């Protein structure tokens, strides 16, 4: 397959032609949401223009076409992570996927321990807090090393016969840390615990093979991997999904309904109640296909080069504190000493540079780091070294303003 050049890839993203305050826009907030290639935009438009209809409900031509496209999207997303299509449930995103697991497992898991880490996004913390309160479960946490990796020194104490669930971020949305989920999942399974991975920052950026990782569940979002907002996926092992109760009840998730009893549909439709986000699902499938066309290994290598370039540039600056390990995924969180991250983000915006400033939905991690928040520059396949140079120039201007 021909490797596309950077210019060819950037041409697929029309928003990159926009100017902000008269300046070339430099988008460095892909960890929050990625930009969309024209292929995804056109696929969504094509659905609404040419075959808008509900799925699984009609035998007329439009409905058949919509159903085929929506189901094909499950195939594309499943293929991206080496899963079976029946193991891919479309949700609103990572947050709903994790809540689905916590809710549906809740009836089965009591009197034990749930293991998380101090670097978790709120979406992989709050649902387990609530489950622990309801079902008399104890929360435990991996601590972090000084350079922002999981402290595995006491893993044999943390994961034991009382452990029921281990749920960890695959890639930290603040530190860029890539966690060894395969190794931890193996230890969890040796103790008869379930392992869940929040891969919102994993699937878009690094190779994810659920069979190789042997995770029980894996959650991710479409809008962080070139797809639309409001769509995401939960991968779950078939045998576990078949045992779980549905998350929601209503149309399409049923096999048969009588006045006093109902039976459930086959996977994955058992967990997709009501009219789904059809256009979002179709766009999600096209995004997965686009990533496969580029090649996830090419994406990973590109980001590795960009983030190293950015890390080295920021490291050369005075009064910059960088958080997380040197070996990381495609993002960098940092602070300019004495300057609030919101001020940094606001001033950079005047130069057309979009970064995120705040706690990034990781307030316990910020508390652990001893800060209120930080600035984050996150990269994707459409970013280049010129974007990094523009960021550095902008940060020098921030420092000049604050002297």
- Please list the active-site residues: 361
Q: How far apart are CA 69 and CA 294, in angstroms?
A: 22
Q: How many CB atoms lie within 10 A of CB 66?
A: 23
**Per-residue CA distances from 328 to 173, 175, 381 (Å):** 11, 8, 16
Residue 296 tokens read as 């996830």
The residues facing 89 across adjacent strands are 234
Q: How far apart are CA 279 and CA 323, in angstroms?
A: 38
Cβ–Cβ under 8 Å, residues 379 and 28: yes
Q: What is the CA radius of gyration of the chain?
A: 22
Residue 301 tokens read as 């290598």
């Amino acid at each position: 397959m021909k490797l596309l050049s950077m210019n060819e890839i950037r041409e697929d993203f029309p928003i990159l032609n926009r100017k902000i305050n008269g300046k070339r826009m430099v988008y460095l907030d892909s960890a929050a949401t990625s930009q969309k290639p024209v292929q995804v935009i056109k696929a969504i438009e094509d659905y609404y223009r040419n075959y808008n209809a509900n799925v699984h409900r009609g035998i007329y031509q439009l409905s058949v076409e919509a159903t085929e496209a929506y189901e094909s999207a499950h195939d594309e997303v499943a293929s991206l992570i080496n899963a079976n299509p029946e193991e891919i449930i479309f949700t609103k995103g990572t947050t709903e996927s994790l809540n689905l697991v916590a809710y549906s497992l809740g009836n089965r898991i009591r009197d034990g321990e749930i293991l998380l880490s101090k670097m978790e996004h709120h979406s992989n913390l709050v649902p387990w807090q609530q489950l622990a309160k309801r079902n008399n479960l104890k929360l435990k946490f991996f601590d972090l090393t000084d350079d922002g990796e999981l402290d595995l020194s006491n893993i044999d104490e943390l994961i034991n016969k009382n452990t029921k669930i281990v749920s960890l971020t695959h890639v930290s949305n603040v530190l860029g840390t890539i966690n060894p989920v395969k190794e931890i999942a193996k230890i969890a399974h040796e103790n008869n615990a379930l392992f869940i991975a929040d891969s919102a920052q994993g699937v878009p950026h690094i190779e994810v093979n659920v069979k190789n990782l042997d995770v029980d569940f894996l959650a991710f979002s479409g809008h962080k991997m070139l797809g639309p907002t409001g769509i995401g996926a939960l991968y779950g092992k078939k045998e576990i999904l078949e045992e779980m109760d549905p998350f929601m009840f209503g149309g399409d998730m049923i096999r048969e309904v009588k006045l006093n009893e109902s039976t459930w549909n086959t996977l994955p439709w058992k967990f997709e109640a009501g009219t789904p986000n059809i256009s979002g699902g179709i766009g999600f499938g096209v995004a997965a296909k686009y990533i496969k066309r580029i090649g996830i290994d090419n994406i990973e290598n590109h980001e590795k080069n960009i983030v190293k370039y950015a890390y080295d540039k920021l490291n050369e600056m005075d009064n910059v504190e960088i958080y997380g390990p040197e070996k990381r995924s495609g993002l960098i969180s940092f602070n300019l000493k004495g300057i609030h991250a919101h001020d940094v983000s606001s001033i950079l915006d005047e130069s057309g540079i979009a970064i995120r400033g705040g706690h990034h939905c990781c307030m316990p991690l910020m508390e652990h780091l001893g800060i209120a928040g930080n600035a984050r520059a996150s990269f994707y396949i459409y970013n280049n070294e010129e974007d990094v140079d523009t960021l550095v120039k902008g940060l020098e201007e921030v420092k000049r303003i604050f002297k």
